[in-house]
A and B are shown apart, each in its own frame.
Chain A
Amino acid sequence: MIAKNRAFPGGYRFRHFEGRPQDKLIRAAIPATITIPLMQGFGDEVAAVVAMGDKVAAGQIIGRDDESISSPVHSSVNGKIVKIGKIEYLGNETTAITIESDGTGDWQSLEGCSAAWDNLAIEQIEELIYLSGAAGAGRDGIPTGFNSSIISPDEVENVIIHGVESEMYAVSSSLLLQGDNLPHFAEGTKILRKVLPHAAFSIALNSECNSLIADVSGAFADNDWCDVRGLEPRYPADYDEILVSAVLGRQFPAGLLAANIGVIVLDIQAVLAVYDAVVAGKAVIERTIALAGPGFEENLHVNVRVGSPLQHIIDGMVKQGADLRFLRNSCLTGEGLFDLSMPADRTCSAIIAVVEGNKREMFAFMRPGPRKDSYSRTFLSLFLGGEKITKRCETNLRGELRPCISCNYCVEVCPVSVIPHLLFHHVEREVIDEALLKYGIFDCIECNLCTYVCPSKITLGQWIKDGKAKLLDEGIPCPQPKFALKGVEEDEDTR
């Protein structure tokens, strides 16, 4: 038996998929127009503070709302506002501001920033983090004295910064931390430490990148409040729920947020944004986005202005003549990007181009499959898959919908130990009652791994999601954990 040295049960390693982004960064040109949605990430929609025809500078706040839980949004180019109106963005209707750029690349810096940040008052640092928009990162934001998170800075007990790269395609952590960025990252973490004085910091990186772990550990060698560790890049290791239990060994409140137990989960770009805000006074106007998947001529990272239209970002990079589907951030949970005029906002970290697999394959199920990924060990890719023979990434369903045969694949990969097919059977038969609570339906973190591995092609993740919604419809709420929660009143207000 293999020794069980696992940080969490289940999970799945996505190995050797074609089109992993290389550690190469290019800078995209400044687009002619940008669109800034006024709702980005977890916060509420903010109010526009500019009017049609106004001249704006890059880094200038164009939308803010200090009352609700949110963080300001900025113009990412110098130019003129040409439109303020509703758009359909990622399934929600939201107001967006369109700005025509004048093509210049300079940006306006925030007042009060200082390289000697240690001399600044905590309130000043908090204000910089808030005004720069860096506070809007992750699912919980960075708590400041301004309503940027559901909890206050004093309530933060743990901060987890992650770059485990467990997704099929993820932004490369070593690219984000190369060169000057590593000391900047360390500085950014120290700034956060000053703002969140009671917090212990953990940095979780891909356990296979030994040199990166060594470098980061070196940068924090003298700081005993920060723990740097490697985590196996097994999907979904980058999820808040998994990190909280795998890194901290703490129980996650089902259906709630990490902030509710005083944990803030951030990615590497969020920490770098904090550094940029406090030291350089630079608002979140740029974003490093991975161009992943077989649909691109070259898989690399591109530094773009926030709000750049997708078409502008991928222009000239896409393979010609291929039928492609573009995805946002994740193959398993990401939204399909069908309208390429939509912008990439500051929560976008990857654009994935996968081949639309609508072609039929002769004797598909009998092929040896050296390039076919599978959780089961029934394809040759088990032996051949590697850097040379990469696995194909297509949207083909690979089979027909069939009844569940309880093969238990979904149970084996489930990272939170629920039994997806059991929940599916209940929801399918319209048995919406306490039994679903008992079987832990609200523990599900919607990572969609069960749907990925299902040989019967049942969309288990979607059924479980529907089950949760139906339970809430029937007035059966998610059971509240017994431990004390933080920021609950505010949380309910925002829902």
Chain B
Amino acid sequence: MKAIRSLLDRLYEAPALQRYKPIIGAADAILYGTDETTRGAPHVVDNIDIKRYMSFVILALLPAVLASVCFFGFRVIAIIMVSYMAGGAVEVAFAIIRKHDIHEGFLITGLIFPLVLPPTTPLWVVAVGVVFGTMFGKEMFGGTGRNIFNPALVGRLFITIAFPAIMTMNWQKPFVSGPEAITSATPLTTYKSTAKASKVNPDVVEFEKDEANKQVLFTSASAVKRCTQNGDSRFDGVKIYCVGEPAYNKAGKHKRIEDDNLVRLFSYGDLLVGKEPGSMGETCRIVIVLGGIFLMLARVSNWRIPVSYIGTVFVLALVGHRFLPHDIAPPVFQMLTGGLMFGAMFMATDPITSPFTKAGKYCFGISCGVLTVLIRSFTGYVEGVMFSIVIMNAFTPLIDQIVLMFKYRPVKT
């Protein structure tokens, strides 16, 4: 212990290292905490500091990191390390230029950014993305606390636009490695590409097999049951897609659905656990939700945005799917696919880039939900979480201003 202490003290005094004081200071502060005391009232202050605040976010993300290592292999760790190193270098460079301490906000950006990337992303793309995100998403605005956009999302957005093929075509199936693991189909893309050409949730009694009805998409387990239990020969040779089927029993009850017929099946259980392709950190929804709830209970994040965001997506999908089943996926499917859970729990809640007023938080969450459903259903993109959060980030100051305008009346003096 003493050796480290004296080493740090000597580093502080070394004339050659004067410029790199932020790095020494950061290491020192992490190792030893502060010896600063309060000046004047209040003489005693709360024990929380930004380091602990931020480290709780990392703690809440750890299960998601572990899950992604399980699903996609140790490459995930390499990606996270590249992200931390490349982004950290930018942070340190700006700290040295601006002559201030290294701010802890980067610890979160550096971890969230890789978690929203596809597992197959080349390491150099990771580095480019995180450097862009940190530099143009945060430092250009003046550093932590002044940024308008979530830096991790700025980086993700940049590489999505700059390298569309890498970012949309190479999804990796969990637990599989090698060339056969690569697929271009995430659950959301599959839904988008099949729903248009399929008969969605046909009325079993009136179902007639004809040229137009070569493909059927079921979005509820009961619908599958209805058509299979009848022992109906009309479904022979029809491609069946199925969303939300809890379990497919090959030898058991659902005899009519032959292996060949059932093309793709997304069980909600699999989606919850993360057995479907997706970005590294976003697939294992169950640990993301638990991590998010942990953060809310620890008072590190606020429940208002995630609840209003996910709630809005659910309600909109519930209503929308009834009327436009070919465009809008069913509600539970929407909640358990893409980055919705991850985005709502860890990115929309970023206190710096979301409104600070209560009404503003609801407004932010609801708007994000509406945008997410709209982008997912009616645009060329299959995923809308990233865009909707970035768009709403831009509106955050406006939302707060409007809420404040209503809350506080001008005072006449």
Cβ of B43 and Cβ of A395 under 8 Å apart?
yes
**Do the beta carbons of B36 and A397 come within 8 Å of each other?**
yes
Please tell me if the beta carbons of A398 and B408 are within 8 angstroms of each other in the complex. Answer: no
Q: How many residues on the B side are at the interface (Cβ–Cβ under 8 A)?
A: 51
A223 at the interface (CB under 8 A from B): no
Interface centre among B44, B144, B412 (most CB of A within 10 A): B44
Q: How far is the CB of B45 from chain A (nearest CB, A)?
A: 5
Within the complex, the shortest CB–CB distance from B378 to chain A, in Å, comes to 33
A124 at the interface (CB under 8 A from B): no
A176 interface contact, C-beta 8 A: no
B residues in contact with A362, CB < 8 Å? 1, 31-33
| Cβ of B36 to closest chain A Cβ, rounded Å | 4
**Interface flag for A373 (CB, 8 Å):** yes
Cα-based distance from A492 to B356 in the complex (angstroms): 38
A399 to B36, CA, bound (A): 8
- Measured between alpha carbons, how far is A399 from B49 in the docked complex, in Å? 5
User: Are B413 and A437 closer than 8 Å at their CB atoms?
Assistant: yes
Q: Which of A375, A438, A453 contacts B408 (CB 8 A)?
A: A438
Contact at B52–A365, with CB atoms within 8 Å? yes
Considering the complex, which residues of chain A in the window 363-398 have a beta carbon less than 8 Å from any beta carbon of chain B?
A: 363-366, 369, 372-379, 393-398
Whether B352 pairs with A405 at a CB distance below 8 angstroms is yes
Whether, in the assembled complex, B89 has its beta carbon less than 8 Å from a beta carbon of chain A, the answer is: no
Q: Does B6 contact A (CB under 8 A)?
A: no
A: interface residue count bin: 35 or more
Tell me whether A407 and B408 are in contact in the complex, defined as CB-CB below 8 angstroms, given that A360-B35, A376-B298, A378-B299 are known contacts.
no
A180 within 8 A of B: no
Whether A455 pairs with B32 at a CB distance below 8 angstroms is no
Contact A336 B40 (CB under 8 A): yes
Chain A residues, Cβ within 8 Å of B43: 325, 327, 331-332, 334, 336, 354, 395
Q: Are A434 and B411 in contact (CB under 8 A)?
A: yes
B interface footprint on A464-489 (CB within 8 Å = 1, 0 otherwise) = 00000000000011010000000000
Which of A399, A406, A454 lies in contact with B51, CB distance below 8 A? A399
Smallest distance from the beta carbon of A60 to chain B beta carbons, Å?
A: 35
Cβ of B38 under 8 Å from chain A: yes
A357 proximity list for chain B (CB < 8 A): 37
Contact residues in A for B205 (Cβ distance below 8 Å): none
Most buried by B among A372, A393, A398, A404: A398
A360: chain B residues at CB < 8 Å are 32-35
* A374 and B48 in contact, given A336-B40, A360-B35, A362-B31 (Cβ under 8 angstroms): yes
Are A403 and B44 in contact (CB-based, < 8 A)? Answer: no
Contacts of B35 in A (CB 8 A): 358-360, 396
B-chain residues with CB within 8 Å of residue A15 when the two chains form the complex: none
Q: Does A245 contact B (CB under 8 A)?
A: no
- The answer to whether A400 and B413 touch (CB under 8 A), given A377-B297, A406-B356, is no
Q: Which of A334, A356, A376, A399 contacts B37 (CB 8 A)?
A: A356
Q: Interface readout for B146-159 with A: 1 if CB under 8 Å, 0 if not?
A: 10000000000000
Cβ contact within 8 Å between A396 and B352: no
Inter-chain contact A398/B413, CB cutoff 8 Å: no
List the B side residues contacting A363 at CB < 8 Å: 30-33
Which among A331, A354, A378, A393 has the highest number of chain B CB atoms within 10 Å?
A378
Which of A373, A454, A457, A477 counts the most B-chain CB atoms under 10 A from its CB?
A457
B104 & A453 in contact (Cβ 8 Å cutoff): no
A403 to B146: give the CA distance in the assembly, Å: 8
Contact A400 B45 (CB under 8 A): no
Whether, in the assembled complex, A335 has its beta carbon less than 8 Å from a beta carbon of chain B, the answer is yes
In the bound complex, residues from chain A placing their C-beta under 8 Å from that of B351 are 405-408
Q: How far is the CA of A32 from the CA of B295 in the complex (A)?
A: 58
A362 nearest CB neighbor, chain B only: B32
CB distance from B363 to the nearest CB of A (A): 15
* Residues in chain B near residue A406, CB distance under 8 A: 145, 351-352, 356
Distance, CA A59 to CA B34, complexed state (A): 50
Do residues A477 and B413 form an inter-chain contact, with CB atoms below 8 A?
yes
For residue B393, CB closer than 8 A to chain A, the reply is no
Give the secondary structure class of A's interface.
Answer: loop
B324 on the A face (CB < 8 A): no
Annotate A18-39 by CB proximity to B: 1 below 8 A, 0 otherwise. Answer: 0000000000000000000000
Contact of B404 among A404, A434, A439 (CB under 8 A): A439
A80 at the binding interface (Cβ < 8 Å):
no
1/0 per residue A405-428: CB within 8 Å of B? Answer: 111110100000001011000000
Question: A378 and B300 in contact (CB under 8 A), knowing A402-B103, A403-B145?
Answer: yes
For the complex, give the distance between the alpha carbons of A456 and B53 in Å: 10
Interchain CB contact under 8 A, A364 and B411: no
Interface pair A400/B101, CB less than 8 Å apart = yes
Asked whether A213 is an interface residue with its Cβ less than 8 Å from the other chain, the reply is: no
B281-305 vs A, Cβ < 8 Å mask (1 yes, 0 no): 0000000000000000111101000
Task: Answer whether residue B410 sits at the interface, using C-beta atoms and an 8 A cutoff.
Answer: yes
> Which of A361, A366, A403, A411 touches B143 (beta carbons < 8 Å)?
A403
Is B206 located at the chain interface by the 8 A CB criterion?
no
Indicate if A461 sits at the interface (CB-CB under 8 A).
Answer: yes
Q: Is the CB of A331 within 8 A of B44?
A: yes
Shortest A372–chain B CB gap in Å is 4
Q: A168 contacts which chain B residues (CB < 8 A)? A: 44
Q: Is A178 among interface residues, defined by CB-CB distance under 8 A?
A: no
- Flag whether B56 is at the interface (Cβ < 8 A): yes
User: Are B44 and A378 interface neighbours, CB within 8 A?
Assistant: no
Chain B residues lying within 8 Å of A358, measured Cβ to Cβ, are 35, 37
* A396 contact set on B, CB distance < 8 A: 33-38
The complex places the Cα of A319 from the Cα of B47 at a distance, in Å, of 24
Bound complex: CA of A331 vs CA of B46, how far in Å? 12
Residues of B within 8 A of A456 (CB): 49-50
A96 to B339, CA, bound (A): 70
Query: Nearest chain-A residue to B353 (Cβ)?
Result: A406
Q: Tell me if B411 and A437 are in contact (CB < 8 A).
A: yes
* Chain A window 207-235, contacts with chain B (Cβ cutoff 8 Å), 1 for yes, 0 for no: 00000000000000000000000000000
Would you give the shortest CB distance from A195 to chain B, in whole angstroms?
A: 35
Interchain CA distance A399-B144 in the complex, whole Å: 16
Least CB distance from B301 to A in Å reads 9
Check A462 for interface membership: any CB of B closer than 8 A.
yes
Tell me if B42 is interfacial: C-beta within 8 Å of chain A.
yes
B7 surroundings in chain A (CB, below 8 A): none
Chain A residues with Cβ under 8 A from B14's Cβ?
none
- Min CB distance A356 to B, Å, is 6
Of B37, B408, B413, the contact of A440 (CB 8 Å cutoff): B408
Q: Is the pair A376, B300 in contact by a Cβ cutoff of 8 Å?
A: yes
Of the listed residues A361, A364, A375, A453, the one surrounded by the most CB atoms of chain B closer than 10 A to its CB is: A364
Interfacial chain B residues near A448, Cβ < 8 Å: 41-42
- Expressed in whole angstroms, the minimum distance between the Cβ of B353 and any Cβ of chain A is 9
Asked if A251 is at the interface (CB within 8 A of a chain B CB), the reply is no
Contacts of A494 in B (CB 8 A): none
In Å, the complex CA distance between A422 and B30 comes to 29
Please determine whether A438 and B48 come into contact, CB atoms closer than 8 angstroms. no
Instruction: Check: A451 CB closer than 8 A to any chain B CB.
Output: yes
Q: Among the listed B33, B42, B49, B357, which residue makes an inter-chain contact with A332, where contact means beta carbons less than 8 Å apart? A: B42
The 7 closest A-B pairs by CB, nearest first: A399-B49, A364-B33, A403-B145, A372-B47, A365-B51, A332-B42, A360-B32
* A-B residue pairs in contact (CB < 8 Å), sample of 16: A362-B1, A364-B34, A365-B49, A365-B51, A376-B46, A377-B297, A378-B48, A378-B298, A399-B50, A399-B52, A405-B145, A439-B408, A451-B42, A454-B46, A457-B45, A479-B411
Which A residues contact B (CB, under 8 angstroms)? 168, 325, 327, 330-336, 354, 356-366, 369, 372-379, 393-400, 402-409, 411, 419, 421-422, 434, 437-440, 448, 451-457, 461-462, 476-477, 479
8 further A-B pairs in the complex, CB-CB below 8 A; given A331-B43, A422-B404: A330-B41, A364-B32, A395-B43, A398-B49, A403-B143, A406-B145, A408-B302, A408-B356
